[in-house]
Amino acid sequence: MSTSAPARGHEHGYVTPDAVALDLEVATVGSRGIAYLLDLALFGLVALVLSLIQLALLGGEWFQSGLGVSISLVLAFAWQFGYPIGFETLWNGRTLGKAAVGLRVVTVEGAPVGVRHATIRAVTAPVELLLTTGLLASLSSFLSRRAQRLGDMAAGSLVVRDRRVAAEPAAETFQPPAGAEAYVAQVDVSRIDTATYGLIRATLRRRPTMRSAAHDQLAAEVATAVAPLVAPQPPAGTHQTAFLQAIAAAVQQRSAAWRTGGPGAPTAAATPPSPPAAPPKAPAAPPSDPAAPPSAPAAPLSSGTPPRPPSAEEAGSRTGFQAPG
């Protein structure tokens, strides 16, 4: 996990009670303000509908009666306290306005908020949002590292972007480097297991976030370890990053061929055939028959030993990958 300071609008480093690290995208002041205005517009719409009803039924004497004043007070209380507490507690930290913008309230541990958190946020909202027209809430959010207003600080909560409104993650694919298409098509990567492929992929994914010299050093170490597992070796002078990208592309192509049965997938003909049955032996000639040819001597077994696979250092020097000393 990186120890650098998080960028504004993102909060890293949360750890849940189950020791699960969270990467939460904190909502900005602008998106929270839009969500609040949407909730306020909803309240105004409800008040307008009730006003039209009382105009039709009571002839415009809504505020001239104690009943009208009581209903107005109950409606204002329900909007200010009942609406946010009820929705945030029962709807996973969302109100209608927050859901429209794609926000929700969570605890600082990343858990759903409860009645206590929602109540504290609702009680402090009139001072922060109404009496100061949102100035106090905006100021505290700008000064807070977690973009929290005072109610969030008191409740131990924060407003984050809902992950469900984000774009669906796309599968990461590796294309063969320019000029290495033929090598990718013929290289044997059957010895590259899942862990090794994960190491290659992680190395390639870190390239945009590392300095060029540091990434070249990391890629050289990984390429030196991977080189003995593939055959044939890449052409001399191949850059270590290009080599790793070629191997990743070859692994993906072979995996796709396995799934779809396309070119490169093993077929029944590729399965080693079972050894044929031995032909029946010819009857041996009687020893007394002088015309019987002498039996051929058995071929001697080869006493040579199989070649030793190259070590990581030899493979590195052969392919040009020099691990830093």
Q: Does 290 sit behind a cis peptide bond, omega within 30 degrees of 0 on the bond before it?
A: no
- Cα separation, 149 vs 36, in Å, equals 13
pLDDT tens-digit series, residues 230-289: 999 998 888 999 999 999 999 999 887 655 554 444 433 333 444 555 555 554 445 444
Q: Looking at residue 13, what DSSP letter applies?
A: E
**17: pLDDT strictly greater than 90:** no
Six-digit token string for 1: 């996990």
- Cα separation, 224 vs 136, in Å, equals 58
**184: pLDDT strictly greater than 70:** yes
Higher-pLDDT residue of 3 and 160 is: 160
Longest dimension (CA), the chain: 140
Q: Looking at residue 127, what DSSP letter applies?
A: I
**68: pLDDT strictly greater than 80:** no
pLDDT tens-digit series, residues 107-157: 988 888 999 999 999 999 988 888 888 889 889 888 888 889 999 999 999
pLDDT at position 146, please? 85
| Non-local CB neighbours of 289 within 8 Å, separated by 6+ positions | none
**21: pLDDT strictly greater than 70:** no
Separation in Å, CA 270 to CA 257, 267, 305: 14, 5, 27
Six-digit token string for 58: 């009571």
- Cα separation, 80 vs 94, in Å, equals 15
Helix (H, G, I), strand (E, B) or coil at 212: helix
- Cα separation, 137 vs 130, in Å, equals 10
H runs (alpha helix) in the chain: 29-58, 66-77, 83-90, 96-101, 115-125, 135-143, 150-155, 181-186, 194-205, 212-226, 240-260, 312-319
**206: pLDDT strictly greater than 50:** yes
pLDDT at position 56, please? 74
- Cα separation, 69 vs 63, in Å, equals 6
User: pTM for the complete prediction?
Assistant: 0.46
pLDDT at position 26, please? 87
For the chain, the average pLDDT equals 75
**226: pLDDT strictly greater than 70:** yes
**63: pLDDT strictly greater than 80:** no
pLDDT tens-digit series, residues 279-299: 555 544 454 444 444 444 433
- Cα separation, 175 vs 181, in Å, equals 9
- Ranges 23-32, 145-154, 193-202, 241-250: which has the least confidence: 23-32
